[in-house]
Structure 1
Amino acid sequence: MAVIVKYVVERNGEEKMTFTSKAEADAYDKMLDMADELFTLLENSKIIEDDNQKEELSMFLAQNKDEVLFALGAKRRPTEKKAKTPKATEDKDSEAA
């Protein structure tokens, strides 16, 4: 018999997701916290009246947190490291000519 450890993320008595890794469960829980805060922000704005749309938008923004931070200028996009190219060495034969 195998023993399987599961991490369950639960909100308001409702099971949201099950993970096999504590780190993944913590990350998902943190994302849900962000979505809750974003929902409150959207609710205070009165721009969107439909609660379902507010919930969908808040989840989308939380799931795409890095892109939102890039757009707000709070975080910089990682720059690709360019491979250093060695300086061209002259052919010794062409020097002798």
Structure 2
Amino acid sequence: MKSIETIATVTKDGKITAQLPLDIPEGKHQVVIVIDEKPLAEKAERKQKRPPLNFPVHNYGPWPENLSLRREDMYPTFRTSFCSIDPGKISSKNSLNTNT
């Protein structure tokens, strides 16, 4: 079984025409058709074209030459608070020992 999503044309006499991938062999096939109640032309007419979004633009000039966006430089306590826990301050219950 193969699921295919495509656009089909329905004529006044109830015939349907659809383009299928070339790997589908010719012959009679049992198919399941799900049809949206509104034709594509009606959907396109309902949808109004909106203007493009207008985002504000602010120019603050060039960035300073010595600007660093490294986490360690932006948050000076980053390395000490997350990367260097003294093993002597950890108790056997895997919690920080605040008695030392």
TM-score range, shorter chain: under 0.3
Q: Whose relative contact order is higher, 1 or 2, with alpha carbons under 8 Å and at least 6 apart?
A: 1
Q: More strand by proportion, 1 or 2?
A: 1
**Please, what TM-score do these two structures have when normalized by structure 2?**
0.22
> What TM-score do the two structures reach when normalised by structure 1?
0.22
Structure holding more helix per residue:
1
